Amino acid sequence: MKILQAAQAVLAELPDHITVVAAAKRRTPEEIEEVIQAGIVHIGQNYVQEAQALRSAVNVEATWRMIGHLQRNKVRRAMESCDWIDSIDSVRVAQMVDDVAAETGRVMPVLVEINSGREPNKTGFLPEEVGERVREIAEFEHLRIHGIMTMGPRFGNPEDSRPYFIETRKAFERLAAMRVGNVEMKILSMGMSNSYPIAIEEGANMIRLGTILFGSRPA
């Protein structure tokens, strides 16, 4: 019941326009069912194999989202187990998503990932190049871009995340102003357990929470 209570407490303090994604890496089906019972119906997964196993084991309806880096050779399996791909970080991955979606007769909703901290160890488009890349991805007929997401550098002081959230929001606004077909800038996904209040102040309407809902992640 601790997860249920924690999730309900978070939801009670958030504005109505904020969507919470439960970052459920290495969580059990029972833990995920408890967070869904609280009213958080978007479940984020980092790994394809784990997403497949959990989705078949969880007996409550939810929307499953791939939030981790997606390798091209795992795109097909990810699309079998997830309703959204929130981490499109290259044109080549987008092309693979489009190819699989065309084969299966679906249109896949996606978010484009921005590497707001320009960190060499993280994937995603740089803020200054994302406009050009989005134009390329928008040519694919079997996916729809609904917004952008960022991980951003992790800091002990959440306030240190603010410049990266600001830069991501500015990229979001530039993309919205482009008015490209197959692109609808409606989701700005940024902020995690320690930084989500700052992210919301800077325009986020989707946040990804793990520790604050579930407690410390298992080793």
pLDDT score for 153: 85
Q: Please give the Cα distance from 108 to 117 (Å, whole number).
A: 27
Q: How many residues does the chain have?
A: 219
pLDDT band at 218 (very low <50, low <70, confident <90, very high): low
- Per-residue pLDDT at 53 exceeds 90: yes
Give Cβ neighbours of residue 59 (< 8 Å, ≥ 6 apart). 29, 33
- What is the arithmetic mean of pLDDT over 46-59? 95
Q: Please give the Cα distance from 120 to 111 (Å, whole number).
A: 21
- Per-residue pLDDT at 43 exceeds 80: yes
Residue that is written with structure tokens 């871009």 in the block: 145
Predicted TM-score (pTM) of this structure? 0.94
Q: Which residue has the higher pLDDT, 154 or 145?
A: 145
The domain spans of the chain are 2-214
* Contact status, residue 59 vs residue 33, Cβ threshold 8 Å: yes
Q: Please give the Cα distance from 83 to 158 (Å, whole number).
A: 30
pLDDT score for 23: 97
CA distances from 167 to 72, 115, 162, 203, 212 (A): 28, 10, 9, 11, 25
Q: Please give the Cα distance from 48 to 80 (Å, whole number).
A: 9
CATH topology of domain 2-214: TIM Barrel (3.20.20)
